[in-house]
């Protein structure tokens, strides 16, 4: 899609409605159906693309997706509305009234901030992306609170705003995802320096971001939605509450936090809305190591990526069986929103022959396999086991005290 097609689609609701009616089936049949109505092939193709993207976008934006415009790359990087709304609430609670959104993409975070009562100056360097963001602002009736401009983020006078939000582009045409921060747009040196210019700065980053890049005194938050690790956010200056946080953005609404070092400011409850659970560990960097217990806990990826496994283990009275593997074991069952809990029935030093014999003895034919610290490929192992029974169990491939180990668990 180009700027001319976007402009035409914005003025042709009937074209988008027609595309929505035929999208989802055979693409050639759908395109033919639109051309039979007299639509130009280019316009028909653009409308069908929007109809398809809108369907996909419902998972992130809900019903609002049916009014919005998207690009494939923009939708992939766009913040889910529940995450953007939570961030906006936290900014508003911190007293932010004006916000510079640098690298606004399709406008997800700007829209959420505006709904929270914040006036937003949103910029994106790509003309089409900026035009789509402006179209989305208009479609959702927020033009009085959001100004969208096509501009280089590095030229914005950020000191004019209460806070800055930056979501550097991490995808490039023909190259897919970009993992080197130096290749972000705007580049990392600029992004990392924003907090020195505007203390209330928030950076949205890929969840695999190196912890060493966390600015001094900032809070690193890793966010999971329904068990899917979606982003890391660095909260800088007075917005920082704790050193690290793992947040579950779902009906559980839980946060697991690392306390500040002794003598540092006390941690505060997340102003983005009080979670159902907010647990603080002791601050130990390494959890206790011991034997496999009756229960194994598989921590949420936000807990693992935020390096809070030891703190999580403390909350369930658990331990690690290998100091480098993020599975937690305990002798008692403790309900927790931060991990999936499975009951261990057998602990077997890994041997294909021995494992096959055990599973056949139990009449096992169906396996739910998970692994951590194992080089084995689950699907290849499933074929090698050649099981044909009717029972179902779980199988965890891991290491215990450095040794390859298979844990059989009750199926759930």
Q: Are residues 150 and 241 in the same domain?
A: yes
- Kindly report the average pLDDT of the chain as a whole number: 88
Which residue from 351, 347, 356 is spatially nearest to 408, judged by alpha carbons? 347
Give the per-residue pLDDT at 220: 97
Q: Are residues 219 and 364 in the same domain?
A: no
Residue 194 belongs to some domain of the structure? yes
Q: Are residues 50 and 111 in the same domain?
A: no
- Which pTM was predicted? 0.87
Q: Are residues 96 and 207 in the same domain?
A: yes
| Tens digit of each residue's pLDDT (9 = 90 or more) over 276-326 | 345 554 444 467 899 999 999 999 999 999 999 999 999 999 999 999 999
Q: Are residues 103 and 188 in the same domain?
A: yes
| Residue 18 confidence class, pLDDT cut points 50, 70, 90 | confident
Q: Are residues 243 and 99 in the same domain?
A: yes
Preceding amide of 354 cis, omega within 30 = no
Domain of 148: which CATH number? 3.40.50.150
Query: What is the DSSP annotation of 33-81?
Result: HHHHTT--HHHHHHHHHHHHHHHHHHHHHGGGGGG----HHHHHHSPPH
In this predicted structure, the answer to whether residue 68 has a pLDDT above a threshold of 50 is yes
Q: Are residues 398 and 309 in the same domain?
A: yes
Q: Are residues 31 and 136 in the same domain?
A: no
| Tens digit of each residue's pLDDT (9 = 90 or more) over 155-178 | 999 999 999 999 987 655 445 565
Residue 223 belongs to some domain of the structure? yes
Q: Are residues 240 and 352 in the same domain?
A: no
Give the per-residue pLDDT at 173: 45
Residue 208 belongs to some domain of the structure? yes
Give the per-residue pLDDT at 24: 67
Q: Are residues 141 and 183 in the same domain?
A: yes
Q: Tell me, what DSSP letter sits at residue 181?
A: G
Give the per-residue pLDDT at 17: 84
Q: Are residues 238 and 153 in the same domain?
A: yes
Query: What is the DSSP annotation of 157-168?
Result: -GGGSSEEEE--
Residue 61 belongs to some domain of the structure? no
Q: Are residues 103 and 168 in the same domain?
A: yes
**Cα–Cα–Cα angle for 15, 19, 24, nearest 5°?**
175
In this predicted structure, the answer to whether residue 115 has a pLDDT above a threshold of 70 is yes
User: 5-19, 44-58, 109-123, 372-386 — which is least confidently predicted?
Assistant: 5-19
Domain limits for position 380 = 295-410
CA distance 185 to 205: 12
Residue 397 belongs to some domain of the structure? yes
**CA distances (Å), 306 to each of 57, 197, 233, in order?**
27, 26, 11
Residue 151 belongs to some domain of the structure? yes
Residue 241 belongs to some domain of the structure? yes
Residue where one domain finishes, among candidates 247, 279, 311? 279
Q: How many structural domains are present in the chain?
A: 3
| Residue 265 confidence class, pLDDT cut points 50, 70, 90 | very low
- For tokens 């959104």, the residue is 101
Residue 284 belongs to some domain of the structure? no
């Amino acid at each position: 899609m180009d700027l001319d097609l976007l402009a035409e689609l914005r003025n042709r609701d009937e074209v988008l409605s027609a595309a929505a009616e035929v999208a989802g089936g055979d693409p050639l049949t759908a395109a033919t159906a639109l051309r039979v109505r007299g639509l130009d092939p280019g316009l028909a193709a653009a409308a069908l693309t929007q109809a398809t993207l809108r369907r996909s976008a419902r998972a992130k934006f809900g019903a609002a997706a049916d009014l919005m415009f998207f690009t494939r790359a923009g939708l992939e990087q766009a913040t889910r509305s529940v995450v953007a709304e939570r961030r906006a609430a936290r900014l508003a609670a911190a007293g932010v009234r004006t916000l510079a959104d640098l690298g606004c993409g399709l406008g997800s975070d700007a829209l959420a901030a505006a709904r929270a009562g914040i006036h937003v100056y949103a910029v994106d360097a790509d003309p089409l992306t900026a035009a789509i963001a402006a179209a989305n602002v208009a479609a959702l009736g927020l033009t009085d609170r959001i100004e969208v401009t096509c501009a280089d983020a590095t030229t914005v006078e950020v000191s004019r705003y209460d806070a800055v939000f930056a979501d550097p582009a991490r995808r490039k045409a023909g190259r897919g995802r970009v993992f080197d921060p130096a290749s972000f747009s705007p580049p990392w040196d600029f992004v990392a320096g924003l907090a020195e210019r505007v203390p209330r700065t928030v950076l949205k980053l890929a969840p695999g971001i190196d912890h060493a890049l966390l600015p001094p005194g900032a809070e690193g938050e890793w966010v999971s939605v329904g068990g899917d690790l979606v982003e890391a956010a660095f909260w800088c200056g007075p917005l920082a509450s704790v050193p690290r946080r793992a947040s579950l953005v779902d009906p559980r609404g839980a946060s697991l936090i690392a306390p500040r070092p002794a003598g540092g400011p006390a941690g505060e409850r997340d102003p983005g809305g009080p979670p159902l659970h907010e647990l603080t560990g002791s601050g130990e960097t390494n959890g206790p190591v011991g034997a496999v217990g009756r229960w194994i806990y598989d921590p949420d990826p936000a807990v693992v990526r935020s390096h809070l496994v030891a703190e999580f283990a403390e909350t369930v009275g658990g331990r690690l069986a290998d100091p480098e593997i993020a599975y937690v074991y305990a002798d008692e069952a403790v309900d927790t929103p931060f991990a999936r809990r499975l009951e261990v029935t057998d602990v077997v030093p890994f041997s294909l022959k021995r494992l096959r014999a055990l599973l056949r003895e139990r009449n096992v034919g169906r396996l739910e396999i998970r692994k951590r610290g194992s080089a084995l490929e689950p699907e290849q192992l499933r074929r090698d086991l050649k099981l044909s029974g009717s029972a179902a169990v779980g199988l965890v491939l891991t290491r215990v005290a450095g040794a390859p180990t298979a844990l059989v668990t009750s199926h759930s």
